[in-house]
Structure 1
Amino acid sequence: MTNLLLQADDVLRQRLDARHSGDRQTLRALVVSTIAFGAAYGLAMGSFGGVWGERAWLAVFSAAKVPFLLLATFAVSLPSFLVLNVLFGLRDDLGRVVRALAAAQAGVGIVLASFAPVTIFWNVSFADYQTAILYNAAIFAVASFAGQWLLRGYYRPLVARRPRHRYLMRAWLGVYAFVGIQMAWVLRPFVGDPLADVRFFREDAWGNAYVAVWRVLADVLR
């Protein structure tokens, strides 16, 4: 636990070299942090509606899903982004780029975990399912913004050396957001509906998030 907290401090203060001797060790520690802190928020997130009986599984499911969401989105987005870096003549910086991206990922997990106590308090205080969905969406938005802020900090020396990194960083944010929204849609529910059966996935898990949002907007505008 102490090592995790020290690692979190290094990530937030952008001091990754302070505790690890090489890129591989640093990446391993960042992945562990993403899993541990993401799972902590997932437990809190999945506690909506109580954790007794079968509903306790919802907290377990969310604890597995949140870090998987972060890492799967990262894994899906990374290959094309690395190819773009090579095409833009930035191959020599790939190690630093991957480390910066992984640090931002860990930062998202850390920020999410910091809201776990507040989320539990929210779940105890409010029983409305739609309100819980909106609350958790807001927390993810805050954590994503914090991750972007960290990424800009980690990218600053890269941009200073080669300004082309600035444009690729923006491309990463766009691709990551696009993949992340769809990935979250496939993995839902993260917050279990008290009136629905306990399930790991929704029956219509393989739908399209953007089509669903478009339909909602179309219904509202009619």
Structure 2
Amino acid sequence: MIERILRDRQGIWQQVVEDRSLTRLTGQMLLSSMVALACYGAVLGSFHSVWMAMTSAVKLPLLFLVTLAICLPTLYLFNLVFGARLSVRQSLSLVMVALTVTAMLALAFAPIALFFLITAPDYGFFKLLNVAILALSALVGLRFLTGGMRVLNENGLLAPEPPVVEKAPAAVAPGGTDAASASSPAAGPANGSGGTATLTAPAPVQAAPAVPPGYMLTPIVNPHQRPVRPSKQTQATPPSMTLLYVWILLFGFVGTQLAWTLRPFFGSPGMKFSLYREIDGNFYAEILRTLSHLF
């Protein structure tokens, strides 16, 4: 799955645009990402004990799933409010692409984390190293998400559907004939010999050549003036793209606070094993405190 996303991302985006077999695609991405996050969670908890490795292997996939469940309705409603025509399956598939890339990149960094765990078993350094790995992996995954939204914008799924303009019916002249038939030449009155006078059709008038709007028929050309090329019209960025970056920030804040709530993932070496800890402080204060102790 990760090879298909990295090698054929345009095919993935086209499948999302066409809303084709998205249930199967989303299930494959969900399974792949959960397995990768479970493996990486086991690496995080292995700093403390086997029990911590097992619980972190469960809590890290749970962290991403709960964050997705909290934030996905906001993304979907943002799109609906501003006229986007994305379904729930399409929105979920977009976010799952980002989540799968994040999980696979984190798994790719797992040997590096194990290397530093064996050679430099320092709790503060190991914690900051893995926070940096997860942050970098999440940034790459969110870049895939913004790329997919741009593809949907190019296909017109982020803009409201244009209204259908119906053609006006042809004008009908009194008597049941249309205007074209009424304006055609008719037979004249009878002449003195009892015959009918034949009217000759007027010569066709040659239509004037179509002139594009904004141009003169005989433009005045200055030989010393360089020709100005018409500027290329750029497509305006829809509000859904702007709100996507707001949603990414919201996703980051919810995820970090939930990670602080579900801790421990690493397990402090001076403390006994515990499944959860009391909620005190916040994630960012802990990172700053760890940095101050490390440097």
**1:61 counterpart = 2:55:** yes
- Give the aligned residue type for 2:275: F
SS at match of 1:192: coil
**1:43 counterpart = 2:116:** no
CA distance in 2, matches of 1:199, 1:70: 21
Unmatched tracts of structure 1, length 5 or more: 1-6, 50-54
Question: Percent identity between the aligned chains?
Answer: 29
**1:209 counterpart = 2:282:** yes
- Give the aligned residue type for 1:25: R
Written as runs of structure 1 = structure 2, the 5 A alignment for 1:77-156 is: 77-156=71-150
CA contact (8 A) 2:105 2:137 kept: yes
Post-superposition shift, 1:79?
Answer: 1.3
Post-superposition shift, 1:159?
Answer: 2.5
CA distance in 1, matches of 2:283, 2:122: 25
TM-score (norm 2): 0.63
* Segments of 4+ moved more than 4 angstroms: 210-216
Name which one, 1 or 2, has greater alpha-carbon Rg: 2
Matching residue of 2:245: 170
CA contact (8 A) 1:44 1:120 kept: yes
Alpha-carbon distance change, 214 to 9 in structure 1, aligned in 2, over 3 angstroms: closer
Alpha-carbon distance change, 41 to 29 in structure 1, aligned in 2, over 3 angstroms: same
Q: CA RMSD in A?
A: 2.6
- The count of residues paired between Structure 1 and Structure 2 equals 205
Matching residue of 2:163: none
CA contact (8 A) 1:48 1:124 kept: no
TM-score (norm 1): 0.83
CA distance in 2, matches of 1:58, 1:116: 16
CA contact (8 A) 1:12 1:150 kept: no
Post-superposition shift, 1:83?
Answer: 1.4
